[in-house]
Amino acid sequence: MSLRKIQLAAMRCLLAVESGRNLQVALAEERNHLENWTPSEQAALMDIAYGVQRFSGSLNFFLHHLLDKPLSNKKIDALLRVALYQLYDRRNAEHAVVNEAVSGSLKIAQGQFKSLVNAVLRQFLRERDRLQQSLSNDLEAFFNLPSWWISRLQKDYPQNAEEIMRCVMQHPPLTLRVNRRLSNACDYQKILHNNGLEGEIMDDYAIMLKQAVPVAHLPFFFDGMVSVQDFGAQMAASLLNVQNGENVLDACAAPGGKTGHLLEWADCQVTAVDIDENRLQRVKDNLNRLHFSADLRLANAGNISEWTNQPIFDAILADVPCTASGTIRRNPDIKWLRRPDDAMKTAQQQQPLLDALWSYLKPNGRMLLATCSIFHEENSDQKNAFLARHQDAICTTEKILLPNPQHDGFYYALFEKKNP
């Protein structure tokens, strides 16, 4: 495995994120240029790219204390943070990390930073313990969150802020949703055990694996017996509780995890809408694996009037676009890409969508507002504003899930439409 080419690829991903790209997109673009990379090399790239984002606060802190002044060369700056992550993580041989980073620096700026890269990384090794101990003096470095994010958590969740901040630095769990039409958690746990895998039962149809594995290693995954879905996300289907024969709308449906769960839950007719053709294809692929079908619509969920002007749905899943602030364990680049006013902006975008969806709901029907955010603007504030605008709406259930070892952060509010 060539550590140097992995470091340089991770450096390019880091620079792409800092230019505003989503990390998943940056990795996908990088993979398009990879030739003859082994699976282990691709896995190492993903691990480093995500690790650098997860611990950017600490890495920036280290680099600040190791340099006399900020670097003007962004590539060298990024390469150093990649190598510092590897040394901080301690899973790679120290001499290999340093030597390959120095070698990689020769490809940048005619190699003029070779000595600096070598000196900085070796100084870190000498001072690593002292630097790590001093992280606690800087909350952004210690919790690896922007300072504005820390302040907001302390304000909104004073009793839970530190627990949340410690949790989101960890790797996310890999949780499975067992297809209730084919099996259950107890039986599938036995199947896992017989295949050398262990998992903890979360409820009748959910299992959290003790060790993450590729989906190809999950027994009967391609037969539709099981899906990968966060335990918090699995609660959407139970809260909406669709019934046999109901006409259901899944707005903003991609990638289709909740769509499939609704169809596992009951014999209902599902219309799944998404505005992006590639993302809608993912919904179709997921449903094909589960052997389900739905009415797939490439459209803006707020413009359903293009094919109906009548309230035709018994239930609506409004999994609206949000900052995804509850998923930063899974998407650590989000915490650095988001800005303090983003939650307010997305909340303003959600309002007309929710109003439009409400008009397509039958009397006595129910609509579930769902976000993977922990910011009040997109959640409880949105719920209160919606109730103020719609006198025919009542909120029967509100559920706030903060990130913890079992699930990501989610918010749910279930509305029922009064019969006039």
**Enzyme catalytic residues:** 372
Query: Of 214, 223, 307, 296, whose CA–CA distance to 255 is shortest?
Result: 296
Verify cis geometry, omega within 30 degrees of 0, for the bond prior to 311.
no
**Which residues neighbour 209 within 8 Å (Cβ) at sequence distance 6 or greater?**
173, 174, 175, 176, 192, 197, 198, 199
C-alpha 265/C-alpha 245 separation (Å) is: 12
Task: Tell me phi and psi for residue 199, to 5 degrees.
Answer: -150, 155
User: Distance between alpha carbon 161 and the CA centroid of its chain, in Å?
Assistant: 19
C-alpha 20/C-alpha 26 separation (Å) is: 10
C-alpha 288/C-alpha 290 separation (Å) is: 5
Q: Are 294 and 342 in contact (CB under 8 A)?
A: no
Residue type at 251 in one-letter notation: A
Write down the residue that tokens 């600490």 correspond to.
58
Q: Are 292 and 269 in contact (CB under 8 A)?
A: no
